[in-house]
Structure formats: C-alpha cells, structure tokens
Chains A and B, each alone.
Chain A
C-alpha cells in the first residue's frame, strides 16, 4: 500500500489541519490568527502543572519499596543470587537469564537489566534503590513535562485545553495504576510513546529513524505493552507523518516479527491464563479460568481485550469487573464512581465528535496531523486491547492513555474553537459541558497526585505487619540479607497523604 503524500508540510506540520500545532501565521482551530506566544503559554501551562508534578514526584520519592514485590524482582534481576555484586561480565549467566525468553512468561529484559545495572554499578542495595527511585520520578517528570512541551500551547484557549488534557492523562486509571512502586514499566513505555509520537510529527531528520526504532525497542524491552507503538509507527508512516521514512517503518516491522517469533518460539507450555480474570461482577482465579475456559479461551480473551479498551474509554469495567455497576445494584455507589464514569464517557463522546469533525474536514485533503492522531488513537486502543487479551487490568491501558490525552487536547481545543460557530444557547451548553468536564478531570488528577502516598501507607503497613511472616516464609540467606537491608526504608515514616482526612472518603477509588 502506498502512503498518500502529505498535503503540505511546514516545519513538519500539515497546513490544512489548522490544529493546535498549525504553522505560524495560519488560522488555528479557535479561529484566531496564531500569535507568536508559544513561549509564554507553554511556560504558563508548565507553571500551573507544577504543584501536581511536585506532589506526584515527592510522593513517589518518599514511598518505601514494598516487601515481597521488590525482593522477587531483585531475584528476577539476578541481584538476589549475587549479593556480593562481584561477578560482572557479559558472560554472567545471570545476565543471560535476564535476556532468555524461556525463563519466565513475562519478558521485560530492559527492566531487569536496569536493576542489574544499578546493582553492579553501585554495589550497594541502598544506592540501587535510590537510583531506581530517580528513574521512576524522572519518568513521570519526562512524561508530564514532555506532554505539555509537545502541545506547543500558543493561546489562552489552548492553555485551558492543555490543562484539561493533562488532567486526562494523569487522571486515567491507565496512568494512576502504573504509579505502583517499583513497577514503572508501562510508565517508561508511555514516556517513550510520547517521544516516538513527537519525532513522528516533526520535520524529518537523519536521526529520526534510529530514534523511533530505538525508543520502540526499549519500550517493548521494558514491557510487552510497548508493542502498541508498532502499529502506531507503521500507521503514522502510512498516513504520511513527516518524521518517518519507509525504511524506518520496515525496520520496526522486521524487528517486531523477529521479537514475536522469538516469544512464540519459546512460549513452551504456558498456562492459557497467567492471572485471575475479571468477568462480569467478579474475579475468576487463574486455575478456575483454566478449568472453565481453557479448552476454548478465545471468547474470554475477546472479553478481556474489550474490557481493557472500555476501561480507557469509560473507566469501567476495572480489571475486567463491572465494579461500579455492581456497587450501584447493591446501593453502595460512591460519588467518586459517578465522577470517573461520567468524565470518561463525556470525554470519549467529545473525542467521537472531534473524530467525525476531523474526518469530514480532512477526507478531501488527505492526511493531516489531526487525522493521523485520530488514526494513532484508534490503533493504540486496538493494540492495547489485543495485548490485554490474557487478563484485563487498569494499568494495561497506559499506552493508549497517551494518545487519548493528546487527542483530548485537540478535541477540547476544537470545542473551544467552535464556540463562535453557533448561537448563545449553544455557546452556553458547550461552555457548561467543558467546565464540568474540566472540574471532574481536575478532581481525578488531584486524586492521582495523592495516589503514591496512599500506596506508601499501604506499603508501610505491610512492612510493619508482616515482617515476622516474611522472615519465617523465606529461609534463603540471600533473601534474609536483602530483606534486612531494606527493612529501615520500609519502617521509615511514610509521607502523609495530601488529601485531608475529611475528604478522603469522598475522593478516590475504594
């Protein structure tokens, strides 16, 4: 298939899109001539986002590493088997194990490699944990900062749209659930997805091809969900994105085919269900799922994929379970559930309006930046669903969340831009809708900002309550040594929650 040529590219942007990134001097979606004020509004939006970023980062920085999760990760990364950190060579069998796809069903070599690298670089568990914290916080800062920087905010209406889009990015379950320490794999993938998209949409440079392939490979190496980037990259090339050439798309496809061949070739006899499966109103344990659906798992795979996509679009079901509907039927629906479902559903409806508008406008002129973003969103949602076939979890939607938030920015900008198209009544309705949407998403963003602190309290509680049990459950000397080394950070006072106690029962998921 031959990709259609871009209609007109100015500084890597297509002219007819008249989107938020329209070329200098051209009319923008809100009808006003573009003013050379990108710097002012860009910094204004970053400044407004600063408290959110600080609260999130400081919570993540101060939270302790949980007991069992961290120690088992250290085992997977070969740290536990090499507590002296002495043998460091490329022939280290522990290193080979990290990259061996047959060792475990989850294949995240770059994630384990990060632990391995920190451990061998510092020879200190304390320093390793600190470096890992730096990685986690840096990922969040890069994702949020990069997101806002990429938007090229150049006017006050776009400033408003950018703040709403940021709240969408941060308030989605696909972002919130990936803040869990020490599991930032999808967050890394999300930051890389943003990086790839930024490169794809900029005027082509010689290094673009390497950057796109490398970022995609790193995202896949951190977690399988990174594969979401493959259809996005190929789709962007097909739709004439200015930053990519045919050989880059081809290289991405070849590497992906090789990766999939390696994974399927070493799959062995994996169980059809790795974890419990949410179905309807309850979770089905993995063993029960094997017994019930093992002979023909494709129906439940389709359900899981649909549930993953629906979670991105509607915040329901969560983990494959229709928890809010269940709560409503039981008469225990909390206001928070209404906020989540209403804001997500309204945002998705707004995106549909924007999609139809973009498609109608651009079908006669060919692909534009906005229609490519629409395509990327559809592809990312589809790929996210497909990769969530085995079990649905809120965190699995993370990769699609980036494109959902980017599209939300364009949709809100288009909505504010269309205010002058109708009469006063339409104006009032659209403004009321956008203000309610903005308020709802900001509430969700505030809850997310508090989320790492909530996790820190849970982790601290686990530390102080289960140490005896953990000590007795593991007789390995290395395990005991690592456990003892981590104990002081686990028992240290956790950061206080940002949301005052009186508000806590109203805000946030159960």
Chain B
C-alpha cells in the first residue's frame, strides 16, 4: 500500500461538474443549431426526385408532393428497367409502375390520390400484380379498387423478360 491518496481540490471538483454538464451544454448547442437550420426554407423540393423514381422506391412523400403540384396521377409516364421493360423506354400508367415494383405504399398513395381502375391501362393492374406474384398488392387493388379491379380480362404474356410491355395501351 502506498501513501494515503490526497483528496481532490475544490477546483478539481468544479472541473468535474463542468465535465458532467458539458454533454448537456453541447447537446443544447447542437439542438439549437439544428433548429436554426430547420428554420431556413431549404426544404428539398419535391421536383428533385423524378415522379417515377419516387414511386418505384416507395418514397411516397415526394411522389405525393408532385401530385399536389399538378402531376396527373393517371397520365402515362416513361419508365425504363432491364427487368421490367427489357431496358427500353415504355409509357405506362403510374399505378402499373408501382405494381410492377411491388411498392404497396405507392399503390395505396396513388389510389388515395385519384388513380382509378376505370382508366384503360389501370384496369389491368390486378393482372400485372398476379402475374408478378404481388399478392399483397393484389389484395389492396381488390379492396381499394372495387369491382372494376376484377372486371378486365388479362392480356397474353408475350414478353416474359419485359412484363410491362404486355401492358402497353
């Protein structure tokens, strides 16, 4: 055993208290800084992500902002995908894109925002969901789409490597 340890000085104790308080003071400064950053009107514009990309990534918030900004929810848009269109540009309805990528939230958002199965291309959405094995999405279409969902005959599968091509109008 060595010599008895000397107690720390009052100054050391105050420094210790400062060390304990420091994380709180730092956290307060960081929160204050982040709050100021949020006060700036630099919200990411919805247009910074393409409507199609937002749908196929299930990023429904920017997709919805695009719809609120005037994007027609039933108007065909161009999509290109090696697996779904064979790498070619194809014009299909947004609902079919959401179905093809298996993005259920995108499907629900489009249905909530006015996408209707009365529109010619959208009538085949259920066929596409079943062809691609999207059972959850098929259930959503039946539930939210009403009787029209089941009413249209499905097209012949003529592009097995590019299923969306079978749904061109």
A contact set with B: CB distance below 8 Å: 30, 32, 48-52, 54-55, 58, 156-157, 159-161, 163-164, 166-167, 412, 416, 419-427, 430-431, 434-435, 438-439, 441-443, 445-446, 449, 457, 460-461, 464-469, 472, 491, 493, 495-496, 498-500
Contact = CB atoms under 8 A, between A and B. Distances in A.
B82 interface: no
Contact of A442 (B14, B26, B32, B61): B26
A500 to B, nearest CB: 7
B159 to A, nearest CB: 30
Contacts of B64: 464, 491
A293 to B, nearest CB: 32
Interface string B13-47: 11011111111111111111011001000010000
B7 A423 contact: yes
Contact of A420 (B8, B27, B68): B8
B34 A498 contact: yes
Nearest to B104: A465
Given A435-B20, A464-B61, A496 B38 contact: yes
B60 A416 contact: no
Nearest to A473: B143
Given A48-B25, A157-B13, A468-B108, A431 B20 contact: yes
A468 B111 contact: yes
A435 B19 contact: yes
B109 interface: yes
B166 interface: no
Contacts of B70: none
Contacts of A435: 19-20, 22-23
Q: Which 10 A-B pairs have the closest CB atoms?
A: A423-B5, A163-B24, A160-B21, A467-B112, A51-B31, A442-B27, A157-B17, A51-B32, A468-B112, A160-B20
Given A435-B20, A464-B109, A468-B108, A48 B60 contact: no
B24 A498 contact: no
A167 B7 CA distance: 30
Q: Which of A49, A160, A422 has the most CB of B within 10 A?
A: A160
A52 B28 contact: yes
Contacts of B31: 51-52, 54-55, 446, 449, 498
Given A435-B23, A439-B23, A498-B38, A416 B144 contact: no
A442 B23 contact: yes
19 contacts: A52-B31, A157-B20, A159-B17, A163-B21, A416-B20, A420-B8, A421-B7, A422-B7, A424-B8, A434-B16, A438-B21, A439-B23, A442-B26, A461-B61, A464-B109, A464-B112, A465-B112, A469-B111, A469-B144
B108 A469 contact: yes
The B interface is mostly helix, strand or loop, or mixed, namely helix
Contacts of A50: 28
A434 B20 contact: yes
Nearest to A436: B23
Contact of B112 (A161, A412, A466): A466
Nearest to A50: B28
A156 B105 contact: no
B151 interface: no
B69 interface: no
A58 B19 CA distance: 29
Contacts of B38: 495-496, 498
Interface string B136-159: 000010011010000000000000
A423 B13 contact: no
Contacts of A472: 143-144, 146
B137 to A, nearest CB: 13
Nearest to B108: A465
Interface string B58-96: 001100110010000000000000000000000000000
